[in-house]
Chains A and B, each alone.
Chain A
C-alpha cells in the first residue's frame, strides 16, 4: 500500500500552513496527509500532535487559539463523524477552525466501509456550521488552504477543505 500521487499539492498545503504562521498541527494520520505530517515533524516550523480520535483535535485547536496560537486539524473523511458534538464548542465560542479532510468512499474506493461516512462528510460538516470548500484539482489545493486559513484566523470562521479522493489517487492494495 503506498501513496503514488504527485507531491506538489501536498507541499502547497505545507507552504500555506507555514505562511499563515500555523504552529501546531493535530492529526489522525491518513495516507493523503502523510507527506505534510512527515514535513511537520522533520522541519521544525510546526509541532505535530498525533490524536487518538479526531474530536480531540477540535478541542485542541480551540485551546491553542485561547492561548494565542494557530492550530489546524488533519484527518480523513471517516474522522469527520467523530467530531460532530465537539463542533458545538467551535460554534458557541466562535473559534476559528481549519480542518483539512482527505476524502474516502467517493471515487474508485476499494473498501465499501468508507462509503457511508464519505457520502455524509460534507453535509455533516455543514449541519454543524462549518463552511466547506472542495478541492478537485491539484492547483486549487494551495489557494483553498490559504483561503481557509485566512477566513478562520482573521474572521473567526469554522472552515474545512475537502481533498477529493480522485485528487489523492488510488490506494494500492496488496494481499
Chain B
C-alpha cells in the first residue's frame, strides 16, 4: 500500500472497509483519503461517482477481494463508463479477513482480472511484484484509461492502525480539500 500511494500527487483515494482502509491509513493519512467502515460492496461505485465528478484528478479505489465481490456488478457499470481517471485496486488475500480468514471466491475459482476484462476494462492485470505495482500506479496517474489491478498478497493479519470512523468528518475534510464549502 505504501508503495502504491507513495507518489500520490493529486490522487483521490477511496478505501473499502477492513484491511484496505487500515493499510491506507497506516501508509499516511491525507484529507483526500475517504475510508469506509461499512457500505460493503460500494467502494468501486463511490470511486466511479468521484471520477466522473472530478475528471481532471486521478481517482484510486483500494479495496479487498470480499468487498469487491459483493459489488461485482460495479465492474459492468464501470466498464460501461470507462472513465480514464479511475483506477480500481483489489488487494486480494483470497480471504474474508475481518471475520476469521474464511476463503473467498477468489480462492475458489473467481478470476477478477477476467471479470474486469469481460466487462470492458481493457487495462486489467494481476500484480505480483514491485515492478508491476509501480506500472499500475503510473497507469492510474496517467489518466489514459480506466484500469484494474488485482494485487495478490499473502493472507496475513498484521497489527492494525485504525482510521477515523466519523463519516461526516471524513466527507467534509475530503470536500474541503477540493475547495468545496461545508453545508
B42 contacts A67, CB within 8 Å?
no
* Chain A positions within 8 Å of B71 at CB level: 56, 59
Kindly state whether residue B74 has any CB partner on chain A within 8 Å: yes
* Chain B positions within 8 Å of A58 at CB level: 42
A100 to chain B, nearest CB (A): 17
A66 contacts B77, CB within 8 Å?
no
B89 to chain A, nearest CB (A): 16
Sample 7 A-B pairs with CB under 8 A, ordered by A number.
A49-B52, A60-B48, A62-B49, A63-B49, A67-B53, A68-B180, A93-B168
Q: In whole angstroms, how far apart are the Cα atoms of A155 and B47 in the complex?
A: 23
Interface size of B in residues (CB-CB distance below 8 Å): 38
Partner of A154, one of B47, B51, B183: B183
| Residue ranges of B at the interface with A (Cβ–Cβ < 8 Å) | 12, 14, 34, 36-43, 45-54, 71, 73-74, 76-77, 80-81, 167-168, 170-171, 174-175, 178-180, 183
B49 contacts A88, CB within 8 Å?
no
Partner of A66, one of B40, B43, B81, B171: B171
Kindly state whether residue A95 has any CB partner on chain B within 8 Å: yes
How many interface residues does chain A have, given as a range? 35 or more
Given known A-B contacts A59-B39, A85-B39, A93-B171, A52 and B76 have beta carbons under 8 A apart: yes
- Which residue of B37, B73, B77, B180 has the most chain A CB atoms within 10 A of its CB atom? B77
* Chain A positions within 8 Å of B74 at CB level: 52, 56
B49 to chain A, nearest CB (A): 3
Kindly state whether residue A128 has any CB partner on chain B within 8 Å: no
Kindly state whether residue A89 has any CB partner on chain B within 8 Å: yes
What's the dominant secondary structure at chain B's contact region?
helix
A59 contacts B183, CB within 8 Å?
no
Q: In whole angstroms, how far apart are the Cα atoms of A50 and B80 in the complex?
A: 8
B103 to chain A, nearest CB (A): 23
- Which residue of B50, B54, B180 has the most chain A CB atoms within 10 A of its CB atom? B50
A53 nearest in chain B by CB position: B73
- Which residue of B36, B46, B77 has the most chain A CB atoms within 10 A of its CB atom? B46
A67 contacts B39, CB within 8 Å?
no
* Chain A positions within 8 Å of B183 at CB level: 154-156
A153 nearest in chain B by CB position: B183
Q: In whole angstroms, how far apart are the Cα atoms of A93 and B80 in the complex?
A: 28
* Chain A positions within 8 Å of B76 at CB level: 52
A45 to chain B, nearest CB (A): 15
Q: In whole angstroms, how far apart are the Cα atoms of A52 and B34 in the complex?
A: 24
Partner of A59, one of B37, B42, B171, B178: B42
A23 nearest in chain B by CB position: B53
B73 contacts A66, CB within 8 Å?
no
Q: In whole angstroms, how far apart are the Cα atoms of A88 and B75 in the complex?
A: 22
B52 contacts A86, CB within 8 Å?
no
* Chain B positions within 8 Å of A47 at CB level: 52
Q: In whole angstroms, how far apart are the Cα atoms of A49 and B83 in the complex?
A: 12
